[in-house]
Every structure is written in structure tokens, then in C-alpha cells.
Chains A and B, each alone.
Chain A
Amino acid sequence: MAALTRQRRFVTPGPDETVEELARRAVPDAPLEAAVDQIKSWNLHVFAMRRPPGLLLGSDVVFVEPPITNA
């Protein structure tokens, strides 16, 4: 099977998962508060553009890293 170029990594929220739980799962090496801030800053489509902001949906793409430079 042909290889894929690397793209921005993401996860999808689990049922009833909070942003804190998701941050802990997706960015386990960072302190929780920093991890939550990072998740929020990388996912403005969920945490800024959505009404109500931060409503996590099961189908969401939630990025766990910043945009890849020169992508």
C-alpha cells in the first residue's frame, strides 16, 4: 500500500468526553492546564467559532498539534 505524507494529527472525542479528558488523552506529557489551552488554540472551529463555544461533538476532528509549517 502506498505511503501517505504526514498530515496534522487529530483525534475524535469519545462519548461525553470533556476537553480536559481529551487533552489528558491527546497531550499526556503536558500539564493538564497547558494541554487544555493547547487543544483550544489548535481547534478554533470548536472552541471559538461554534455556538455554544466548546460543545464537543462525537464527529469532531480535534487536532492534537499545531498546523504543519509549509503544509
Chain B
Amino acid sequence: MFDVIVKNGLVVDGSGAPGFKGDVAIKDGRIAAVGKVTGEARTVVDATGRVVAPGFIDPHTHFDVQLLWDGAAKPALEHGVTCVVPGNCSLSLAPLKIADRARLIGMFQQIEEMPPEAFTEAFEWTWEDFAGYRAAIEKDLSINVAPLVGHSVIRLWVMGPASQERAATPDEIKAMQDLLRECLEAGAVGLSTSFVDVDENGRPVPSRFAQFEELDALSAVLGEFGRMLQIVPEFYATDITIARIDQLAELSLKHNIPTTFSPVFDNAGTPNSVPRQIARVEEQFARGARVWPQMQTRPADISFSLLRPSLFFGRLPRWMRVLRQPLEQRLAGLRDPAIVEKMIADTGPDEGEKLLGRLVLRGGDAAPPELAGMTLSEIAKARGETPARALISLSLEHGLDVAFVSANAGHEKTERVGPMLAHPLVHIGASDGGAHLASFATYGDTGYLFSEFVRKGHLTLEQAVAKITGETADIWGLKDRGRLQPGKAADIVVFDAERIDRAEELPIFDMPGDGMRYTRAARGIDTVLVNGEVAYTAGSYTMARAGVVCV
């Protein structure tokens, strides 16, 4: 007697091999048989007309904090994602001393656009070490988690405030190695670091103060375990990114570790950038290094209102300064002519025509509906203002609750991105799931892979499934995951190949603190099993809590 049989589906097993009609049987959380299965099961999932694939793996997320109150990382699981990798970009919730919590929250707020209340209102913060964090999330998981540990927090633990001031001493590097080893033994899948990020005060994060020798020493510890090194390079500059690829290759070869860098954006302004990066990666792989460029599927769309700070204002420091204030002070700032003039000056001599004019009003609770779909340039002309002034005045008239979208700001040309995603050395990921809550929905990139790139012929169904299952598991060393093979963990998604997609991006109010995030529901996903238990089916989450920390 099996526990579950998923019957009569098109089995696409995650290896890239052609799909075949068949069944998948599950016993004790593991795949027991694949093919024509005879025998009975307590639960039968009818997959007639559907694809049966391994659960998708999302290798670049920031679900670290959300997992403490939402063990499904919603809506990731309903999109077919059965394993997420949090802890990217040098930031994780452990190891962290109590005294350093505010500092880390500030970094998450600045870098990942997560409200501080998400860290203070929704859970009891009981741990300092990595094992404690693992225990805290494991209490209620319905999705699997392969957590990275952040270089910045390791540095912060060992060096305190000096982690953002200077190079480490040999003794401090030794202490960091010991701490990293402890984290890896406690279940960390690897180490993440960042070369670009700053904290809420504009100060580079701790990882950026590390000499290469420090990263080399930490990579030596990763080598003891064969675990991953993830980095965020200076993605805006191709030459620097290529230098980072070379550094990663050196570490990969020396310590026999996999490495990955993200994001990798295709941008119309620098059309040779991604091809040059991939060419360098090909050269480094030919030498035996493992340096995986991690590329997202979705175009870069950024939404914002003046209700919250947004990465859209990253290059407008005076705007960011005002928007970081509590609401009353923010309103006062936006009404202060002297401050407004400085903000306007930030937007250039045309007062935002080039920078802001193409923004489209997307709506908001208080947005005038007749303006929805108009560009800020059009709105400004109608009001007799410049775009920068119209953005402020219109927002003030409506309680700041007027949302704009900067659409297709990069990575939007399917005919260019498709072949890149299909490249055998390009690793699909970089969703940023769980972060940038009020800027864009970081969910549904897997559905978009099928709707935009498979159904338009850039990848086969089997290629696409392998890219986000078997290949991802191989890259990350997740030996139990990613393929429908007897003995593997029974992480399975059943979906309609003609319908799978991401739904429209919508604001919802389910987060702690100010509560809002953009999200996308799933389309075409029938059933998701995690470690053999049905975690999502027929549009609803179940009570199953079979997720684990998996390395």
C-alpha cells in the first residue's frame, strides 16, 4: 500500500529527458516508483492531462523572516515551489547577537525593502545561533528550506561595529571560519556575500570591508563541506562583474566549491553585458571552475508610492531621505518648499521629464481612477507642472496613496532573454522571493518561465522543468531533491502546461507592520506535494507541515 499515487500524468522527471505518460508512487515521504504503477494508495491524485514534475527550487530568496510566521512562504508554494533558499546577499537572521538585531533589521529594511515591523511584531526572536534559527523555522514548515548564512552577519558577530570599519585580523578571520563551520554543521547550505549593498545609513555592509583573503579563508571552510558561495556583484558594471566571475572561479578551483552570482539582467542600454558575462563563465567552466550566473525570468518592473521608501529612489538620495521618515515627518517634508526644491533638483534640469516622465499611474486606494494608465509626463502636462512636481503634488492631494509603475525597466525582451535562459550554464533563479515587498511581486517567476519562454518556443517543457528542478538541485548539492526517481524526496508539482502562469500583480495587506506587499497568485497549478504530503491542492493550502531544512 502506497501513501500516494499521482496517476496518469505526463511525467517530466527533472532530468531533461522526454516526458512520458505514467504514475508516481510515494511511500514514507519518498518516491517509491515511477512508471506504470500497480497497487493501491491511501490517496490518489488524478493527473490526467497534467504534467507531473519535481517541485521547483527557488535558489535566491529572502524568506528568512516570513518563514517564522508563514511556513509555506506564501505564495511561493502555490506556484509549485517546494524548496526555497533564503539568506542571500550576505544577510541571514543567524548567527546574530541580541545587541545587533537593530543593525541587521536596518540592513534588511534598506536592502530588501522589508518593514522593520516584520522583525518585531510577528514572532518571538528567541535565538542567536544558526541552530536556534533552524529550530525556530522548523516548527511549522510546509515548504522545504535550504538556508544560506550571510557573510555580513558572521562578520558582525565576530567584529561588532568594527565589521563596518576595517579589515579583519588573522584571529578574527579564524573566528569567522569557526563560526561558519558551526553554521554549516547546523544546516546552512552555503555562504552569501555582497559587494554592492549599503545599510540604512548608506554605509557599506560588513561583507564589503573584507579583504579577498578573508573570503578565501571562508571559502576554504565551504570546501570542507562542498557547499555554495553566493555573491551579489556590481551588476551595473560589466567589467567589474567579470572581475567577480574571475574571483569566484579562483575560489571554486582552489576549494572545489560551487559558486553563483546574481542578479544577471539583460538591459537594452548595455546589450553586450550578459553575452560577455556568459562568455567569461564558459571560459571559466572550461578550466573546471563552477561559476553559475543566476538569471531571473521576469522583466524588471518597479512600483512605488510616496507612502514608503522604494528602491526606485535609490539614485535620488534626497527623496529617499524624506521617504524614510515616519508618516507625519514625511508629509511635513513633502510640504516644505525648501526641501521640495532640493528634491526637485535631484531629478535634473528637466525636473524629472526623462527620469520620471514614463512612469505610469497604476492606481492605489486613493488614486483618481481617471488617471490610471496615464504616464506621469501626461499627467504633469495636464496639471501644468513638471513630472517631479506633479508626483509630489498629486501624491499629497491623495494622502500619498498613489502608486506608479516603472515598467519594463530591463530584462523584458523575450527574444533576447529566452536564449540566455536556455543556455546550459545559466542557472534560473534570482526571484528575490519575500523581499522588495512594496516594489514588485517576487513570486511566480516559475510560472512565467513556462508561459513566456516555453509556450513561445525558447525552451522545451523538459528543459524548463530541469532548469528549475534537477539542474538546480545538482548545482546546490541538494542530493535528495529535484528529480522524480525512486528514493528521492517526494516533492512534486502537478500542473497544466497550457495554463501555468503568474497572475496579475496586486497589492495585498497580509504583512506585519504597515502590511502591504505586491503579490501574484498562481495559475495552472493543480497540486503540490512536499515530502509526500499534499500541501496545496484545488486552490487551497492544506494543513500539511512536512517541510524540512534540507541540505
Chain A residues near B (Cβ < 8 Å): 1-2, 4-5, 7-8, 10, 12, 14-16, 45, 51, 55, 57-59, 61, 63, 67, 71
Contacts and interface: CB of A to CB of B under 8 A. Distances in A.
A15 B166 contact: yes
B212 A8 contact: no
Contact of B209 (A2, A7, A58): A58
B195 A59 contact: yes
18 contacts: A1-B288, A2-B283, A2-B287, A7-B239, A7-B280, A8-B239, A10-B243, A12-B212, A15-B167, A16-B167, A45-B234, A57-B204, A57-B208, A58-B208, A58-B214, A59-B195, A67-B239, A71-B239
Given A10-B243, A71-B276, A57 B283 contact: no
B240 interface: yes
Chain B: number of interface residues, binned into ranges: 20 to 34
Nearest to B283: A4
B210 A59 contact: yes
**Nearest 9 A-B pairs (CB), nearest first?**
A15-B167, A2-B286, A58-B211, A61-B243, A1-B287, A57-B208, A58-B167, A59-B208, A8-B239
Interface of B: 166-167, 195, 202, 204, 207-212, 214-215, 234, 237, 239-240, 242-244, 246, 276, 279-280, 283-284, 286-288, 317
B243 A8 contact: yes
Contacts of B215: 59
Contacts of A15: 166-167, 211
Nearest to B236: A45
A8 B280 CA distance: 12
Given A45-B234, A45-B240, A71-B239, A59 B287 contact: no
Contacts, number: 62
Contacts of B237: 45
Contact of A59 (B209, B276, B283, B317): B209
A16 B169 CA distance: 12
B217 to A, nearest CB: 13
Most B C-beta atoms less than 10 A away, residue of A12, A61, A67, A71? A61
Given A14-B211, A15-B211, A63 B283 contact: no
A57 B209 CA distance: 5
Contacts of A67: 239
B234 A61 contact: yes
Most B C-beta atoms less than 10 A away, residue of A2, A5, A55? A2
Contacts of A1: 287-288
Contacts of B287: 1-2, 4
A57 B206 CA distance: 10
A8 to B, nearest CB: 5
A56 to B, nearest CB: 10
A22 B167 CA distance: 16
Contacts of B210: 58-59
Contacts of B283: 2, 4-5
B240 A7 contact: no
Given A2-B283, A15-B166, 11 more contacts: A4-B283, A8-B242, A15-B211, A16-B166, A16-B167, A58-B210, A58-B214, A59-B207, A59-B212, A61-B234, A71-B276
Contacts of B276: 71
B215 to A, nearest CB: 8
B239 A59 contact: no
Contacts of B204: 55, 57
Nearest to B317: A51
Contacts of B284: 4
A58 B210 CA distance: 5
A37 B283 CA distance: 33
A5 B237 CA distance: 19
B198 to A, nearest CB: 8
A12 B317 CA distance: 28
Nearest to B253: A1
Contacts of A63: 239
A51 B211 contact: no
Contacts of A2: 283, 286-287
Contacts of A7: 239, 242-243, 246, 280
A60 B105 CA distance: 25
Contacts of B240: 45, 61
A7 B242 CA distance: 8
